[in-house]
Amino acid sequence: MKRTQGYTLVEILVVILIISIITSIAMLSIAKNKNKQIETFANELTQILSLAEEQAMLQPSILGLQLSESSFQFASLQPASEKETKEGWKPVQDNLLGHHKIPENIFMKIDVGAAVHKDKTNQPGIIISTNGDLTPFTIYIGQKGKKPRYAIRGEANGHVSSQLLS
């Protein structure tokens, strides 16, 4: 008798089962990595805000957090000089407090107690004074298209903390 070459139905089903198990493990791993990325970003931002408070007290200078859709950065308030009659915000140019990109799959929404007016001076939403006090705020962080997973809260006395939202 001549035997034809090929795979049996059972062999094909076993291969499909193995592929589906590997795919579901990979999908769970990817979802966990996105949540870990959001958690890491929230903790990093909390630490950067605390560092900015310390920097404002040590320099001493007034710092502000400027936030856009895709990035955030700190700026320092420059006093009026002989050339300029108005004081203004100048972006900080170091690695820690300078320009930071927000990862593409993460969104940030800032909620400041008082209304923030965007004008020509590009006034920051959060202002940190030389004595460590800051504008009370809540920054919500999460995956784009989903509800926020973390909230970073700053109190007027300078205390900054992050928490996982339920």
- β pairing state of 160-164 and 150-154: antiparallel
Round to whole Å and give the CA distance between 114 and 134. 12
Residue 117: predicted pLDDT? 47
Phi, psi of 77 (to 5 degrees): -80, 120
pLDDT in tens, 144-160: 989 999 999 999 998 99
Residue 114: predicted pLDDT? 56
CATH number at residue 126: 3.55.40.10
Q: Identify whether 76 is part of a domain.
A: yes
pLDDT in tens, 76-123: 998 876 666 667 899 998 888 899 999 888 999 999 865 444 444 567
Q: Identify whether 150 is part of a domain.
A: yes
The span from the first CA to the last CA of the chain, in angstroms, equals 67
Calculate the alpha carbon distances from 114 to 87, 110, 127, 136, 158 in Å: 22, 11, 12, 9, 17
Q: Identify whether 1 is part of a domain.
A: no
Q: Classify residue 114 by its DSSP letter.
A: S
Segment (H or E) for 56: helix 9-58
Q: Which range of residues forms the domain containing residue 109?
A: 9-164
Q: Which two tokens stand for residue 2?
A: 């001549």
The answer to pTM > 0.75 is no
Q: What is the mean pLDDT of the chain?
A: 85
pLDDT in tens, 130-148: 998 999 999 999 999 899 9
Q: Identify whether 2 is part of a domain.
A: no
